[in-house]
A and B are shown apart, each in its own frame.
Chain A
Amino acid sequence: MRALQVLLFASTALTACSWSVYNDYKSDTPMFAISNRAFGARVAITTDTEGNAIVGAGGVAPDGARFYGLGQGTSEPSGAPLTNSAQCEIASDKITAGSACLSATTLSPAGVLQELDAKTATLKQVHPGCFAIGYGRRSDTSDIEPGPIVYCTDGGLYTMKPAGDSGLAKAFASRNEQEIRAQHVAMATVMHDGKSVNPGIVVATDVDERAWVYPTIRSQVDPIEITAAADTRGEKYGAAVAMARSKGAHIFLVSAPGIGKVFAWTVDEKTATSQNVACLEGSVGLGETLHAANFDGDADDDLFVNDGGTIKVFLGKDRPAAPAAGQPCAKWPESSIVLKCEEKGATGCATSGFGSTVAVGDFNKDGKKDVAIGAPFAVTDGVASGAVYLYSPTVGGTNEVLDVRYLGKPQENAAFGASVASGLVGTQDTLVVGARGKNVAYVVWCTGLPGTAGSARCRK
C-alpha cells in the first residue's frame, strides 16, 4: 500500500517534469507586467493617431518615466504582446547627456498635438501623442532648471519655462531636491483654443500653496497664476490639480483639503488673468485627490473627488454659473454618486488608502463608463498588497463594488493600486494599475466586471 502511494506520488511528480508547460503561463496572461526601477507610482495611457496605445509609467526616483507601446492597431487585449518602445531617452538624449531620466512626480497623457494650418484652414498633426511630466529636477547636473516638460512619442520635447518671474523657479530653488520630488504638482490635458489642439498644463505646489497654468506648450510663455485668496494659506492649497472640459472651454481645478474645498478656475490667455468660477465644498480632507473624466457621456468632464476615503462625483453638467467679478465662487453641487470601499474580495478598508487614485473607462464594453479606484494598502489573502475596486455607477443607484482586482501573488507593501489609469487599446478601454512597491505597472486586460469580453487572455 505504501509502495503504491510512493508510486502515485512519483507519477504525480513526474507530470510536472516538463518545464516547458510553464511557458504557457507567460503567454496571454490576463494581466501584463511592465517592470522597471522606481515604477508604479504613476501610470498613464494614451493612444496616438497611429493607433498605438502608449503606456507610461513613472516614479519619484531619478529614473523618471518610460513609455511602452502596446503595438500598432492593437484592436483587442489579446493582440500583439506589449513591447517596450524604449522611450526613456528623455534624459539621455534630450535633456542631459548620460544623465538619469526625469523625476516624474506626475504623469499625464496629453494625446495628439495638432495645429491649425493657416493656408488650408485645417488641423495639422504636430505630434501623434504626448505626455506631460511633472516637475522635478531635470538632471543630475542641475544645468536645466526645474519645470514641467512634455514628451511626445515621436521624440518631440517641450521644456516649459520655469515660471521665472512668477516665482515658480524661486519656489523650487528654495526647496531641497527631496521635498520637490515629493510634491504633487502637475496635471495636463489637451487644450482647445479654437486654432489648435494644444496641451495646456496646470501645476501646483502645496509647499508654497500656489498654482499656475501654462496655456500652451508650443511657446515659452509665462504661466498664469491661479492662486486662491490669502485665507487658503496653510490649508494645503495645491495638494491636487485637475483640468477639465467644461462648457466649451477648460477649467483648472486646485484643491485645498485643509478646508475641504476645491477651486475651479478659468484663465484668459490674452490677458493672462484667471478667475475662480466655482467651488466644490465638503468636509475637511475633500480634494486630497482629484480626477476629471467624462463619465456620463455629455460634453462636460465630470469630477471625481476624494472626500475622506470616499469618492464623490461632481457632474460637469451641474457646474454653476460663474459669479460676477469680485463675488465669491459659486458652489458646485455634488451628485448622488458616492463610491465607497467595501470589504469584498479585499479587506482593511479603513487603512487601505482607498480613493487615492481614480480611472474611468468602459472596461467591459457595455457602453457605460466604469470607475476604477485604487486602494494601495488593501489586504488580500492576508497581505497588505493593495487592490483596485471597480464600479459601474449610476445616478440614484446603489453603486456597489462589482469587482476587485489584486495581484495573483499578493506581496506585502506592493501598493498595487497606488496609481490607476485608463486608455483605449484598439477599441477597448483598458485599465493600467501601478504597484509602487513592486516597481511594476500592470496592464489589466481583463476585469471581472459583468460582461467582460472573453478574449483568450480572459478565458478562465
Chain B
Amino acid sequence: MSAVLFASAISLVPRSPYAQGTAAAPAPAKTGTVADAKAHMDKGQGLFLEKKFAEAAVEFRAAYQIKPFSTFLFNEAVCHEKIKKYDDAIALFKKYVEVDPNAPDKPNVLARIAKLEAEKAGGDAGAPSTGPVAATIDEMRSIVVVESVPDNAPVEIWQKTSATAGKFVMGAENPGWTRVASGNTVFTQSLPLGNYHVVLPKFQDYRATETDVTVAAATISMFKANLSQGAFFGVMKIRTLSESGEVRGAHVLLKKEGDSKFVDRGVTPYEESLESGMYSIRVELPGFKPMERKLEVTHGKIDEQNFNLDRTDDGLIRVEVANVDSAQVLIDGEEVGTWTMGSPVEKKVPAGTHRVKVKADDRKTWVADVDVPKGHMVVVHTELKQSVARGSAWTSAIAAAAFIGGGIYLGLQSNKLRDELDAAKGGLRLDQEDPRIKRGQYFAIGADACFAVGGVLALISVYNFVKDPLPPSKGYMEKPRDFDNTPAPVKKSASFHVTPAWSPSFAGFALSGEF
C-alpha cells in the first residue's frame, strides 16, 4: 500500500510567458481524469529530478489544465524559481495563494514571494545562476483529494503539529492537532509533507468518517468515503504493459477475500474505488498469459498496479476469403472450419510457421506458410480464383488407366502363353498350328495397342491436367498484431420462407423473409 508520488522540477527557461505579461496562470482548458493529470505530473517530476526544469514546468502546466489543483501551480512555480524566472515564479506563487487561500503553508509562500521579489530587485534578474542547482523531491507539493458517496459532504483536515500529540479522536479536544483545511466534497487540498487526519463529520443521516493520512512529497492522495458504511474506499488502478508499451483492453477480474468467484470489473486502464480488504486480481488479455496478484486495498490510498504481461506461446490465425460464398480452411492439413461471408475462420495455433490452405469448389486452392509470433494474431486475406474444369482430364486419365490396365492384363496373358509354348517346345510337343501361338500373338498385339492408346490418353490427360490459362488464387498476410477482442460480426444472410397457410375461407402460401 503506497500513495503515489508526484514530483515536479523547474528548469532554466530564458524567457517566461508570465514575465511577458501573459496570464499569470493558465486556465484549465482540457478535460481529463485525475490519472491523466497524474501522468503529466509523473513526467514533470522525472524531468525535475533530471534538472530539466523548463520541460518539467510545461508538464505541470499541462496537468493543471486537466485538473486545476493548486499543487500543480506550486510545483510549476518551483521549476521557474530554479531557473530564476522570477516573474513567472512570483506570478504562479501568487496564483497559488489566490486559488488556495486556506493553504496551510500560505505564510511560507508569501515569504517566498517577498524573497523572490527582493532577489529580482537585487539586479540579478534574468541572469541565471551558473552554479549547481539542487532539485529534491521534497520541494514538490502533494495533493489530497477527498470524494464521498454521496458528495457535498463536509470535510476537515487536521495536521499533527506536535510530535507528542496522541491519536486523533473524533469529537475530542485533540491537543497537538490543528485543523488546516475544511470544505465539502469533492475536496482538493495542496499539502506539504506531514501527518494529517481527514474527518468527514456526521452529515445528514450518515455516520462520521475519518482516516489518518501521511502526505509524502509529490503525491496525490485520493480518498473516497462511503458515508453509508462510514468507511473510506481505497482506489485501485491497473495498467497493463507489454514489451512494446502500454496495452489496453485487458479484462480485470477481482475476487475479494472470502468470495468464491472472480468478477469481471472492466478493462485496462482500470481505476475503481474499492472497499478496504484483500483482493485477488486477475488480468486477462487474449494473446497474453493471464496474471494474478494479491493486493490489500486500504482506504484512502491509491494503489496503482502495473502488470507486465507476457505473450502467450500461441497465436491466432484469422482467415478472410474473397470471391466465393464459402470456402474450406485447413491449417496444417487439419480442417478448421468453413468460411462464409461475414464469419471469418479463426484458429488458435502454437507460435511458429503454419501451412494455411483455403479451398472451395471450382476454385484454385490457395496455400501459404504463415508465421505466427507469440501472442499475436495474423490475418490472412485470400482471393480464390476460378479453377479449370478437369473433367476431360479425369476422363482421359481413367481411360488411359483402363487401357494400360488392359495392356498389362493382355501382356501377362501373352507371357503366360509364351511360358506354355516354351514348355510344349521343351517337351517336343509343339506344332506350328498350336492355337496358343496365334492367341499369344493377338494378346501381344492387343497389349501393344492398349499400351499405345493408353500412353496417348495419358499424355492427353497430363496435358489437360497441366493446362491452366486462368490466374492462380491470391493471398496476403497482414502484419502480426495484438489480438482483436472484438468478435467477428455475424451477418445474417437474407432468406425467404414459403409456408403453407390456411383458414376457413382461405388456403395458400405465406411468403416471409429475413434481411
Partners in one complex: yes
Q: Which residues of A approach B to under 8 Å, CB–CB? A: 6, 9-10, 12-19, 21-22, 25-27, 29-33, 35, 405-409, 440, 442, 446-448, 458, 460
Contact B408 A25 (CB under 8 A): no
B434 within 8 A of A: yes
Contact B451 A460 (CB under 8 A): no
Which residue in chain A gives the minimum CB-CB distance to B421?
A: A25
B41 within 8 A of A: no
Shortest CB-to-CB span from A455 to chain B, Å, is 11
Instruction: Summarize A's interface: helix, strand, loop or mixed.
Output: mixed
Roughly how many angstroms separate A267 CA and B353 CA in the complex, as a whole number?
116
Which 3 A-B pairs have CB atoms at the shortest separation, nearest pair first?
A: A13-B411, A408-B424, A408-B429
Instruction: Report chain A residues within 8 Å CB of B411.
Output: 10, 12-17
* Partner of A10 from B408, B426, B429, B438 at Cβ < 8 Å: B408
Contact B430 A31 (CB under 8 A): yes
Roughly how many angstroms separate A257 CA and B412 CA in the complex, as a whole number?
54
Contact B434 A25 (CB under 8 A): yes
* Partner of A14 from B430, B433, B451 at Cβ < 8 Å: B451
Residue of A27, A31, A407, A440 with most partner-chain B CB within 10 A: A31
B390 within 8 A of A: no
Instruction: Report chain B residues within 8 Å CB of A9.
Output: 408, 412
- With A12-B412, A14-B451: A32-B431 Cβ-Cβ less than 8 Å: yes
Instruction: Report chain A residues within 8 Å CB of B434.
Output: 25, 29, 408-409
Offer 21 A-B interface pairs, CB within 8 angstroms, sorted by A.
A9-B408, A13-B407, A13-B410, A14-B411, A16-B411, A16-B415, A17-B444, A19-B448, A25-B434, A29-B425, A30-B428, A30-B430, A31-B428, A405-B429, A408-B421, A408-B424, A408-B429, A408-B430, A408-B431, A408-B434, A440-B433
Chain B, residues 404-427, CB within 8 Å of chain A (1/0): the string is 100111111011001011001111
B437 within 8 A of A: yes
Contact B437 A22 (CB under 8 A): yes
Residue of A16, A17, A32 with most partner-chain B CB within 10 A: A16
Residue of B414, B415, B427, B431 with most partner-chain A CB within 10 A: B431
Contact B445 A29 (CB under 8 A): no
Instruction: Report chain A residues within 8 Å CB of B442.
Output: 19
* Partner of B432 from A19, A21, A29, A405 at Cβ < 8 Å: A29
Which residue in chain A gives the minimum CB-CB distance to B416?
A: A16
Roughly how many angstroms separate A310 CA and B515 CA in the complex, as a whole number?
106
* Partner of B444 from A18, A35, A407, A408 at Cβ < 8 Å: A18
Residue of A17, A21, A26, A32 with most partner-chain B CB within 10 A: A17
**13 new A-B pairs (CB below 8 Å) besides A12-B411, A409-B434?**
A10-B404, A12-B415, A13-B414, A17-B411, A21-B444, A22-B440, A22-B444, A30-B431, A33-B433, A406-B429, A407-B429, A408-B429, A440-B433
Interface size class of B (residues with CB under 8 A): 35 or more
Which residue in chain A gives the minimum CB-CB distance to B412?
A: A13
Which residue in chain B gives the minimum CB-CB distance to A406?
A: B429
Roughly how many angstroms separate A129 CA and B407 CA in the complex, as a whole number?
53
Which residue in chain A gives the minimum CB-CB distance to B427?
A: A408
Which residue in chain A gives the minimum CB-CB distance to B409?
A: A13
Roughly how many angstroms separate A255 CA and B248 CA in the complex, as a whole number?
128
Contact A19 B433 (CB under 8 A): no
Roughly how many angstroms separate A88 CA and B430 CA in the complex, as a whole number?
27
- With A13-B415, A19-B448: A446-B428 Cβ-Cβ less than 8 Å: yes
Instruction: Report chain B residues within 8 Å CB of A18.
Output: 444, 448
Which residue in chain B gives the minimum CB-CB distance to A18?
A: B444
Interface positions of B from 418 to 472, Cβ below 8 Å from A: 418, 420-421, 424-438, 440-445, 447-448, 451
Roughly how many angstroms separate A22 CA and B414 CA in the complex, as a whole number?
10
- With A9-B412, A22-B437: A17-B431 Cβ-Cβ less than 8 Å: no
Chain B, residues 133-147, CB within 8 Å of chain A (1/0): the string is 000000000000000
Shortest CB-to-CB span from A134 to chain B, Å, is 27
Roughly how many angstroms separate A14 CA and B404 CA in the complex, as a whole number?
10
Instruction: Report chain A residues within 8 Å CB of B440.
Output: 16, 19, 22, 25
Shortest CB-to-CB span from B416 to chain A, Å, is 9
Roughly how many angstroms separate A30 CA and B430 CA in the complex, as a whole number?
6
Roughly how many angstroms separate A29 CA and B448 CA in the complex, as a whole number?
26
Residue of A9, A19, A33, A448 with most partner-chain B CB within 10 A: A19
Roughly how many angstroms separate A458 CA and B444 CA in the complex, as a whole number?
26
Contact A16 B429 (CB under 8 A): no
Instruction: Report chain B residues within 8 Å CB of A32.
Output: 431-432
Shortest CB-to-CB span from A443 to chain B, Å, is 9
Instruction: Report chain A residues within 8 Å CB of B428.
Output: 30-31, 405, 446-448, 458, 460
Contact A21 B418 (CB under 8 A): yes
- With A13-B408, A16-B415: A35-B433 Cβ-Cβ less than 8 Å: yes
Contact B429 A15 (CB under 8 A): no
Shortest CB-to-CB span from B412 to chain A, Å, is 5
Roughly how many angstroms separate A14 CA and B452 CA in the complex, as a whole number?
11
Shortest CB-to-CB span from A68 to chain B, Å, is 13
Which residue in chain A gives the minimum CB-CB distance to B444?
A: A19
Instruction: Report chain B residues within 8 Å CB of A408.
Output: 421, 424-425, 427, 429-431, 434
- With A16-B411, A16-B414: A29-B430 Cβ-Cβ less than 8 Å: yes
Contact B433 A17 (CB under 8 A): no
Which residue in chain A gives the minimum CB-CB distance to B433?
A: A33
Instruction: Report chain A residues within 8 Å CB of B429.
Output: 30-31, 405-408
Instruction: Report chain A residues within 8 Å CB of B410.
Output: 13, 16
Contact A33 B431 (CB under 8 A): yes
Roughly how many angstroms separate A6 CA and B404 CA in the complex, as a whole number?
11
- With A12-B412, A22-B441, A30-B425: A17-B430 Cβ-Cβ less than 8 Å: no
Instruction: Report chain B residues within 8 Å CB of A31.
Output: 428-431
Roughly how many angstroms separate A31 CA and B426 CA in the complex, as a whole number?
12
